[in-house]
Amino acid sequence: MDIYKLIKEMTLKEKIAQLTQISFNFKNFEEVKEKIENYQVGSLILGGTAFVGDGDEAAVEKHKIRELQKAATENTRLGIPLLFGRDVIHGHETIFPVNLAMAASFNPELLRLCYDKIREEAAYDGINWTFCPMLDFCHDPRWGRIIECQGEDPYLASKLAEAIVKGFQTDSLSNEGAVAACAKHYIGYGASEGGRDYNHTEISHYALWNNYIPAFKSAVDSGAATVMNSFNEMNGIPVAASRRLLTDILRGRLGFDGFVISDWGAISQLKNHCMAENDADAAELALKAGIDMDMVDDCYFNHLEELVASGRISEELINLSVERVLKIKDKMGLFEKPIRSFNRPDIKENARLAGKMCAQTAVLLKNEGNLLPLDKGQKITVTGPFAGVGGEHSGSWVILTEAYKPQSFIDAIRAYAPNTRIEYKDNLASSYLAARNSDVVICALGEPPYVTGEMHSVSSIEIPDAQKQLLIDLKKQGKKIVGLLFFGRPVALQSVEPFMDAILYMWHGGVSATKTAAKVLFGDAEPSGRLPVTFPRVTGQIPIYYNALPAGRDVNGYYGDDGKYMRNYEDCSGTPMYPFGYGLSYTEFEYSDITAENSEISLEDIKNGRKFKFTVEVKNIGDRPGTEVVQLYIHDVVASRVRPLRELKGFK
C-alpha cells in the first residue's frame, strides 16, 4: 500500500477520522456502523466504559466485528480497514494469573507462550489490537493497578515486556495472526502519590531513566506497534501535553516509530488539569505533544478541523499522525486482508497452560517443620472466606463465562483428592470444632477482585480484621494451620504470620487457580514462584523496595539486622517481611563454584557487545525434585552516581 499516495487522496475530515477511536459495546451496532460509513473512523475500542475488561456488556460478538470491518472496507470512499482494540490484559477466553503474579514466575519464555495463546484467542474473536503490556513502575501496593505491573525491578520488567510484546505480535507484525501490542501507561502513572489512582506524580530525572523508562525501552526495542499515554501529570505537566515525554524522549531517544493513543478521555481531561480551557485547546496541546489517536472523547474529531482553519495546527502535523496510524495497518496486512478467519483455539489446552503458569507463580512464604506438602492420608479441615468462592480468583480485567470460571477451592481439592478426608466449614463456630478433629487446617484468605485494578486503591494492605481473627481463633485449637492466600497485591503479614505454620501465596491465579493450589499443597506441583515485589511488614513501611539507594548511614538497611543506625522506625523494623526474589521450595538447593569469566571489561568492549559471564553450580540436595530461580545481582562499588546495593541483572 502506498501510504503517502493514500494520504494525498484523503480529505481533512477523513484524516481526522483516522485519528479517532470510538467505543463499541456490541449494543450500539447500528450507531457505530453509521459512524464508520459516514466518517471512516480509524479504530474501535470494544467496550462501553473505560473498564472494558470488566463487565458482561463487553462480551465479544465476532460476527459484528466482521460486519463492521466489511462496512469500513466496502462501504466507504477509501476502504481503510479498522483497528479493533481491547484490554486483553491477562487472558481472553482463558484467564491466566494476573500480571504481577506471572512476574513471580521469573520465566519470560513461558510468559511469551502464554501470551501467544492469549493472542490466538483474541485474534479468533476478531481483535487485532490489545492495550497490553502494562509497564507502569510502582512502589506502592496500595495502588489498585499494581496487579497489572511487572514487578519492582526494571530489569525483570524489561524482560517480561519483551516476552509479552512478542507473544502478541509474534516474530513479525505482518504475520496474519499477529495482534498489535500497546505499551502503557507512558509514563509515571505507577508513581501516583499515596497510591491513589490518577494522582499527582513527582519523578526525578534519575528515577525516570533508571526505573520508569527501561521497560518501555524494551517494549519499543521489541517492536511494540503502539504506546498509550498515562493520565497523570508529572512534575506539573500532564503527560498528555508533554512534548518532551511523548516526542523528544519516546521518539527521539527511544526510537519509537509506531503511533501513540491517548488513554480513555485523557485529552479532554487536560481541562481538569487546568491546562486547557476547552476541548479545542486540549486537542491542540495533545496533538502537538505527540498523541496520534484520540480514545473516545472526540476532541480531535470535533475540533482539529477548526484548529487547522484558524492556523493553530498545521495539516502537515495531522498528516504525520495519519501516516503513523496507516503504517501500522499496512504492516499488519489489513489493507490486503482486513477480514480473517482462524481455527478455534484449544481452550482446554490453554487452561492447562494457565495451570502450569499458575504453579510457577505460587510463592511458598513459610513452611515451618516442612508442613507442606500435605499427605493425602491426613484429615483436613478447609475453611476461610475464599474457600467456597470461584470467580474471585480470576482477578480484575476479565470477562467470566460460566464455562470457564475457576472452581471454588473446596470443590477443586475434593476433586483432586477424592479419597482424602476433607471437611469444609464456612461457619466459624463449626470450623473451630472441625479443626480439633483434624490433622491440619487449610484457611483460605484473600481479597475480591473489585478492590484491585483501576480506580480501586486501598489505604491499608493489612489482612482484614475478620480474617485475622479467624486465624487467631483457629490457632487456639492447637492444630497446624496452612494459610492459603488469594490476593492480587502484596499484603502486610507481620500481624498474622505467627498464626500460620505454612503460607502459600497464590495471588489471583486465573481459571486454574484453585486446582493448581490443590496440586501444590499435595506436592504434585512445585511452588516455584519468587516475589517480584517486596512484601512490607506493615502498611506504614510503604514505600519499601529492594533496590533502594544506600544512605550515608545504614547502607544495608533492607537486608541488615536492626541496629543503632538502621533506617527503621521506633515501632517497626526497617527490613521487609519478605524481600524481592524470595520464595521457598519443597527441596533444598546448594550453590557452589561461582566464577566470573571476566574480572573486568572496558567501556569500549561493552559498546562492542562484550558481556560479563558468570557460572554457578546449583545442586538439589533435597529428597524430591524442585525448581530453583537463580538470580544474579550486581553492585557498582564506587560509582559516579549512587547505585543500589543490589541490582538484578540476570536470572534463570
| pLDDT > 90? residue 156 | yes
pLDDT in tens, 253-307: 999 999 999 999 999 999 999 999 999 999 999 999 999 999 999 999 999 999 9
Which position has the grid cell 470494544? 46
Give one word for 564, left, alpha or beta, with left for phi > 0 and alpha for psi -120 to 50. Answer: alpha
Share of the chain above pLDDT 70, in %: 96
At 451 the pLDDT is: 93
β-strand partners of 134 = 184
Report the C-alpha gap between 97 and 360 in whole angstroms.
10
347-521 CATH fold: Rossmann fold (3.40.50)
User: How do residues 216-262 score in pLDDT, each as one tens digit?
Assistant: 999 999 999 999 999 999 999 999 999 999 999 999 999 999 999 99
Q: What is the mean pLDDT of residues 348-373?
A: 98
pLDDT at position 58 is 55
pLDDT of residue 488: 97
What mean pLDDT, rounded, does the chain reach? 94
Contact indicator for 481, 501 with CB cutoff of 8 Å: yes
**In whole angstroms, what is the distance from residue 14 CA to residue 36 CA?**
11
HEC letters along 139-203: CCCCCHHHHHCCCCCHHHHHHHHHHHHHHHHCCCCCCCCCCECEEEEECCHHHCHHHCCCCCECC
Share of the chain above pLDDT 90, in %: 86
CA distance 355 to 567: 41
Q: Is the pLDDT score of 426 beyond 90?
A: no
Confidence (pLDDT) at 598:
82
Is the pLDDT assigned to residue 170 strictly greater than 90?
Answer: yes
Give one word for 442, left, alpha or beta, with left for phi > 0 and alpha for psi -120 to 50: beta
Predicted confidence band of residue 601 (pLDDT cuts 50, 70, 90): confident
Residues in contact with 309: Cβ distance below 8 Å, sequence separation at least 6, in sequence order? none
Query: pLDDT tens-digit profile of 22-68?
Result: 999 888 999 999 999 998 899 999 986 545 455 555 568 899 999 99
Which pTM value belongs to this model? 0.96
387 neighbors 407 (Cβ within 8 angstroms)? no
Residue 600: the pLDDT is: 84
**In the prediction, which pLDDT does 566 show?**
60
Q: State mean pLDDT over 530-545.
A: 98
Lowest-pLDDT range, 137-146, 339-348, 556-565? Answer: 556-565
- Mind listing the pLDDT tens digit for each residue in 622-644? 999 999 999 999 999 899 999 99
**Catalytic residue list:** 263
**pLDDT band for position 179 (cuts 50, 70, 90):** very high
Is a pLDDT exceeding 90 seen at residue 553?
A: no
Going from N- to C-terminal start, the domains of the chain cover: 3-88+127-331, 347-521
Distance of alpha carbon 501 from alpha carbon 439, whole angstroms: 13
Supply the pLDDT for residue 644.
94
Q: Which CATH architecture has domain 3-88+127-331?
A: Alpha-Beta Barrel (3.20)
The predicted pLDDT at position 523 comes to 98
Using the CB atoms, write b or e for 601-612: b if 16+ within 10 Å.
eeeeeeeeeeeb
C-beta of residue 250 within 8 angstroms of C-beta of residue 256: yes
According to the model, what pLDDT value does residue 630 have? 98
